[in-house]
C-alpha cells in the first residue's frame, strides 16, 4: 500500500535553533499534504495544508513565519520550526493525498516526528 | 464550524465489548473515521464509514452512524489487552481533504 515517511522520527534541538522535518510520499505523487501537531495526551490539531508548488494555507492561530512549510515537489513537503522554543516540543505528523495507482482520494499518514526543544 | 467531541476515558474488562461514542457538528461531513494510536506511535486507520451508510462491520469492529443526530460509535467486540490505546474519531468532507479529529478516547483494559 501507499507509504508516507517522515524523517527524523525523533529530534532534540537547542532552544533558538531551527529544525526541519521531512514528509515523503514513497510510492505516489502527493498533490496535497497536511501537517498536524499533537501535544501530549491531546488531539491532533491541523496546522496547515500545502499543495505542491503553492504557498501553504495555515490554520487560524498558527504562525506561518515560525512554522515554514515547503512543498516543492510532488513527493516531499518539509516543515521547518524556526527559532524553536521548549513550548514547540510536540509530536508532528503529516498526511498526504494524491495521484497514483490505488491512492486516489485517500489520505495516508506518516509515522510522526517527536520534537523536543531543550 | 467543525467540531468533533468524544469522551476522554473508557475502562472495559478484558473479553467485554467496548463502545466508544462520538458526536460531530459539521453537516457536510462525508467521511467519518476511527483511528487508533498506541503510546508513542503514529496513527493507524481502523475503519471509516461513508455518510450514507448506517453501519459497517469489520471483524471485531462495528461502526454505527446516526447521521440525523450526528452520532458515531465504534464497538470493539471481545476487547483484548492489545486494544489498549487512544481512539480518535475524525471527519472530513472529502476522502482527500483535511481531517478534523476529536480529542481521543483512552481505552483502558481491566484484567
Which B positions 32-91 lie with beta carbon below 8 A of chain A? 41-43, 45, 88
Chain B touched by A28 (CB under 8 Å):
no
* The pLDDT of residue B62 is above 90: yes
Question: CA nearest B102 in A: which residue?
Answer: A43
DSSP state of B29: -
Chain A hits for B89, CB-CB cut-off 8 Å, are none
pLDDT at A13: 96
pLDDT digits (tens, 9 = 90+) for A59-83: 999 999 999 999 989 999 999 999 9
* The pLDDT of residue B72 is above 90: yes
φ/ψ of residue B14, rounded to 5: -55, 130
CA distance A100 to chain B (A): 13
Chain A touched by B98 (CB under 8 Å):
yes
Interface probe for B, chosen from A36, A52, A99, A107 (most Cβ of B below 10 Å), is A107
Tally of residues, chain B? 111
Mean of all residue pLDDT scores within chain B: 93
Q: Maximum Cα–Cα distance for chain A, whole Å? A: 43
* The pLDDT of residue A103 is above 60: no
CB contact under 8 A, B98 and A49: yes
Beta strands in chain A (DSSP E): 4-7, 10-13, 19-25, 29-38, 44-51, 57-58, 67-73, 76-81, 90-99, 108-109, 113-117
Question: CA nearest B99 in A: which residue?
Answer: A46
Chain A touched by B31 (CB under 8 Å):
no
Question: CA nearest A51 in B: which residue?
Answer: B97
Chain B hits for A105, CB-CB cut-off 8 Å, are 94-96
* Rounded Cα gap, residues A35 and A38, in angstroms: 10
* The pLDDT of residue A104 is above 60: no
pLDDT digits (tens, 9 = 90+) for A32-63: 999 999 988 788 999 999 988 888 999 999 99
pLDDT digits (tens, 9 = 90+) for B4-41: 999 999 999 999 999 999 999 988 888 999 999 998 88
CA distance A112 to chain B (A): 6
Cell output for B41: 506511535
Q: Beta-carbon neighbour count of residue B12 at 10 Å?
A: 18
Average pLDDT over residues B69-95: 95
Chain A hits for B92, CB-CB cut-off 8 Å, are 107
Give CB contacts under 8 A, 24+ apart, made by A68-75: A69/A35, A71/A33, A74/A25, A74/A29, A74/A30, A74/A31, A74/A98, A75/A24, A75/A25, A75/A26, A75/A29, A75/A30
pLDDT at B78: 97
* The pLDDT of residue A99 is above 70: no
Amino acid at each position: 500500500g501507499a507509504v508516507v515517511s517522515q524523517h527524523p522520527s525523533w529530534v532534540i534541538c537547542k532552544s533558538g535553533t531551527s529544525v526541519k522535518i521531512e514528509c515523503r510520499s514513497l510510492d505516489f505523487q502527493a498533490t496535497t499534504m497536511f501537517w498536524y501537531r499533537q501535544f501530549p495526551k491531546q488531539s491532533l490539531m491541523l496546522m496547515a495544508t500545502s499543495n505542491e508548488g503553492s504557498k501553504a494555507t495555515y490554520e487560524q492561530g498558527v504562525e506561518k513565519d515560525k512554522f515554514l512549510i515547503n512543498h516543492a515537489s510532488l513527493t516531499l513537503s518539509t516543515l521547518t520550526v524556526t527559532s524553536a522554543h521548549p513550548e514547540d516540543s510536540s509530536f508532528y505528523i503529516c498526511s498526504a493525498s494524491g495521484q497514483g495507482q490505488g491512492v486516489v482520494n485517500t489520505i495516508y499518514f506518516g509515522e510522526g516526528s517527536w520534537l523536543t526543544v531543550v | 464550524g467543525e467540531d468533533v467531541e468524544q469522551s476522554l476515558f473508557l475502562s472495559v474488562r478484558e473479553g467485554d465489548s467496548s463502545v466508544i461514542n462520538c458526536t460531530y457538528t459539521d453537516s457536510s461531513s462525508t467521511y467519518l473515521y476511527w483511528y487508533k494510536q498506541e503510546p508513542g506511535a503514529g496513527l493507524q486507520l481502523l475503519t471509516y464509514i461513508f455518510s450514507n451508510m448506517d453501519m459497517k462491520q469489520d471483524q471485531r469492529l462495528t461502526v454505527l452512524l446516526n447521521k440525523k443526530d450526528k452520532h458515531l460509535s465504534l464497538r470493539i467486540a471481545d476487547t483484548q489487552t492489545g486494544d489498549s490505546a487512544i481512539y480518535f474519531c475524525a471527519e472530513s468532507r472529502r476522502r482527500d481533504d483535511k481531517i478534523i479529529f476529536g480529542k481521543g478516547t483512552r481505552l483502558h483494559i481491566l484484567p
